Structure 1
Amino acid sequence: MKKVLAVALSAALILGFAQFLPTPNGSRVAAAAPAKSKTDASKAAQNKPKPAQDPRMAVLMANKNFLGGLSNKQMQEDYEYLWKTLRESYPFLGVAKRSGIDVDAVYKKYQSQVAATKDDLTFVNTVANAVENLQGLGHLSLFMSSGTYSYLLSTYGELQQSMPQLKAWYAALSNPKTLDAYTKLAGLEAKVIDVQKAQALGNPQSGNAQTPVSQGQTPAENITTKILTPDKIAYVKINSFGNEYIEKDGKILSDFYSKISGYDHLIIDITDNGGGNEEYWFDHIVAPNISKDLTQKQYNLFNVSANNKPYLAAADFLKDAKPVAELPDFPKMAKEDLKGLSSFTVNEKVMKPSGEKKAFNGKIWVLVNQNVYSSSEAFAMFCKSTGFATLVGTPTGGDGGGIDPAYVVLPNSGMVVRYSMLYGINPDGTNNEEYGTQPDFVSPTGESALDTCLKQIAQQK
């Protein structure tokens, strides 16, 4: 199944609530000051002006139990449920440890903070911090924005009509507890926005007002096309493979291919492209520019846990799954990661030409960097394994070739954490999330991928 959503969606709170939150014990800690007598301290307190409280902080504190007032027992249950699910279902804890993260220390640190938490807002922020300390490996994040949640709910709701396999994702997002939680979060966000608007109107020169970012806000243009050398080298920059660009960009690319069909080289720049929908590059980059079928083989490993199973079944990953014990021997496989994985599948991605002849007949180069991730990473993997294009730049960010992230719905709060459940491997057995895809030509430090590519083209003359 294709990845259908733009993974660049922010999991951070769009209003920046975290910066206003108190420490777990309910008060901010000030630096220690020299000891004074009680009389001196009393006089100082009387004469010292009180700092003005940010109005947004006042709104947050007045609504700190925005979920209805969870008990501390419920908070601890949610936290333990999350970690139990991650240990059973999330395949990147070993990757996290090898990257220098003390996973057990992260768990214990925030476990103690949750145990001391007295309000909903601090609880949600604490869980978000715990997840963030695992560095977002494999799309791991807590949805702290009602905009992110609403976008996903609406998108899955629409797509499941024509793609029934997405019902597992929609069911998780549309359960009553979660609907209620994010409706309440939206209400809290609206109150903060109202305060920001009032600040802007009352003191437009203060610089304190912040304009919230709309979840649906996108750049005016997603594609830039250039002719670098007339009749020889063409260039196209694609910022995102998001759903919202597919139709419009398809026409732009088709027209551009017609214009440059006889050129020697086409450079496709996907640096900093965080992903989106694989349909974008299936239909508008690969299919128009091949004359025969291209097949990519991808090994994906996973654990058939209680949380993963509905998503794996919906995506048809269980039908042909084999025990990990039958996995071929890969020279660079991290064997310790196999302990938490039960099964694997071998998925074949077959791309067919969309026309009777190729739209572009020259050599294709693809520029990549560490910010190439998810569906754009899947494109990089496809290029590398099939030879469709030559990769130039720096190693990618990884997590390509999988399916949409699974969800953990916290049972008491209704908040949602997402994570990739598939452990995809490169041809040598290295984990794609950990190592990404290695370019065919690596850019030296300080040199752009485009400059490296142009040098390689010059050497071919």
Structure 2
Amino acid sequence: MKVDDNYMKKKILFLVIILTFIILLGNSTYSQKNQLSEEEKMDDFKHVYNVIKTGYPYLNVNKRINNTDWLENKDEYIKRIKSTENDEEFLEEMSSILSELNNKHTEVIDNKKRYELFKKSYSNNDWYDFLNDEKVVDRYNSINPKIKAPKDIFEKKELILEDVIKGKVGYMYLPSMSSKHGPIDNDLKAIEAYINTLEKHKALIIDIRGNSGGSDRYWQGIVSKLIKNDVKINGYRIYRNNNEIVKKYTSVRNIKLEPVENLPTNIKKNAPEEIMKDFSGFENTSYTIKSKSDLKFKGNIYLLVDKKIYSSSEAFAMFCKETKFATLVGETTGGDGGCIDPVLFNLKNSGLIVRMASCMYLNKNGVCDEEFKTIPDFKVRDCDRTKNFEDDNCIKKVLELENIKN
């Protein structure tokens, strides 16, 4: 009887193993059947290539500053796409290829968390009709999460408002152009209360090192509390509006464009030479920051900057440099400030979403910010932010300029 029991147990175990193998094989076969074909992958890549070719604003800038002729690399990119063996490799290769444009606003949305973020951000307007498409939803549900990094890497850092030297030098640390705790107005109220304590201070340091952007409303709200008179800023956004995706984007946002030929003569003279050949229209981005306070602080303002500054924090750096609102200390910034949101478009076969810089920003003199960035008034080696004010080279530089001993 025992022999029969053992025999039956072995037989059942064998059948379980066989059944498991069949199921796994079936799943694998099903998975392989649902992978993109080479033709589908190539079709998606060619779509991205053509959108970049006709709509992306910084192809020539990339050539000049990074020595990368992205369009000329087409054959190499095709080989790389063809060598991918599954959807995951295709996604990684597409991300790698777009990274060679060297622009943080241009990328493949490569994970569900970021997709959900964009879907939520654009849920209140009708700019995009594909964010809830079945293929798009299925794609982002199917992407395997990458290895999880420690949570603190992605946690927003705290706004800091405290004196470097009590009663003499104030300090604001702005880790992002957005609030960690709810609406932007929460931060602005706290910042305004701190500004009201600075009446007898000799200087104020605004530290945006490591700040990669957020909302222009954040820094403009701070500026409005630190100016006695209204300040007007002038610049230009230039578009390749002959591209259908860019054209649809400017149309749905009601952006009124003038022909690029109508740019002022001095702007044409200083702008990148390709704008007259490759771009079609522009908008004047003049705006005024209105004073909203009876300012008691009369000291100097310093802005601490580094290469990580980008997007709306870059716009703040540009504003400070152009208007002399603050003296810049640190290293050359990251660029691409002054533009509107990047444009999104979807890939019909993979369901992936691509994000692309939508325009080029030129300052009041016609200089392209993405190409030349913002150069500080005082360059500082080893300008990293430190835990202690005493060890911080940028803060040391400010105290030196103010002739204050720590």
Tell me if structure 2 keeps the 8 A contact 1:67–1:120.
Answer: no
Deviation at 1:359, TM superposition (A): 6.1
- Aligned pairs for 1:126-205 within 5 A: 126-135=93-102, 137=103, 139-157=105-123, 160=124, 166-168=125-127, 170-185=128-143, 188-189=144-145
- Aligned pairs for 1:197-276 within 5 A: 211-212=148-149, 217-219=154-156, 221-245=157-181, 246-276=184-214
The letter of the residue matching 2:120 is S
Structure 1: where are the runs of 5+ without partners?
A: 1-57, 161-165, 193-209
Tell me if structure 2 keeps the 8 A contact 1:443–1:452.
Answer: no
Q: Percent identity?
A: 28
Greater relative CO (CA pairs within 8 A, separation 6+): 1
After superposition, the C-alpha distances for 1:313-340 in whole angstroms (9 at most, x for unaligned) are 23332x2x22112222344322034422
Q: In 1, distance between residues paired with 2:37 and 2:141? A: 20
TM-aligned CA distance change 1:63 to 1:149, over 3 Å: farther
Q: In the alignment, what sits opposite 1:306?
A: 244
Q: Give the total of aligned pairs.
A: 364
Q: In 2, distance between residues paired with 1:105 and 1:77? A: 18
Deviation at 1:62, TM superposition (A): 5.8
Tell me if structure 2 keeps the 8 A contact 1:241–1:280.
Answer: yes
Q: In the alignment, what sits opposite 1:451?
A: 396
Q: In 2, distance between residues paired with 1:214 and 1:67? A: 36
Q: In 2, distance between residues paired with 1:443 and 1:332? A: 25
Q: In the alignment, what sits opposite 1:204?
A: none
TM-aligned CA distance change 1:67 to 1:130, over 3 Å: farther
The letter of the residue matching 2:116 is S
Q: In the alignment, what sits opposite 2:272?
A: 334
Q: In the alignment, what sits opposite 2:49?
A: 83
Tell me if structure 2 keeps the 8 A contact 1:66–1:120.
Answer: no
One of 97, 100, 110 as aligned partner of 2:77 = 110
Q: Which runs of 4+ in 1 moved over 6 A?
A: none
Tell me if structure 1 keeps the 8 A contact 2:107–2:356.
Answer: yes
Q: Tell me the TM-score normalised to structure 2 length.
A: 0.82
SS at match of 2:266: coil
Q: In 2, distance between residues paired with 1:436 and 1:65? A: 46
TM-aligned CA distance change 1:429 to 1:449, over 3 Å: farther
Q: In the alignment, what sits opposite 1:402?
A: 339
Tell me if structure 1 keeps the 8 A contact 2:266–2:365.
Answer: no
Q: Tell me the TM-score normalised to structure 1 length.
A: 0.72
Q: In 1, distance between residues paired with 2:320 and 2:30? A: 49
Tell me if structure 1 keeps the 8 A contact 2:179–2:187.
Answer: no
Tell me if structure 2 keeps the 8 A contact 1:67–1:181.
Answer: no
Q: In 1, distance between residues paired with 2:116 and 2:86? A: 24
Tell me if structure 1 keeps the 8 A contact 2:53–2:71.
Answer: no
The letter of the residue matching 1:431 is C
SS at match of 1:398: coil
Q: In the alignment, what sits opposite 1:282?
A: 220
Larger-Rg structure: 2
The letter of the residue matching 2:230 is D
Q: In 1, distance between residues paired with 2:140 and 2:273? A: 40
Structure 2: where are the runs of 5+ without partners?
A: 1-23, 384-392
Q: In 2, distance between residues paired with 1:386 and 1:111? A: 47
TM-aligned CA distance change 1:215 to 1:312, over 3 Å: farther
TM-aligned CA distance change 1:297 to 1:316, over 3 Å: farther
SS at match of 1:408: strand
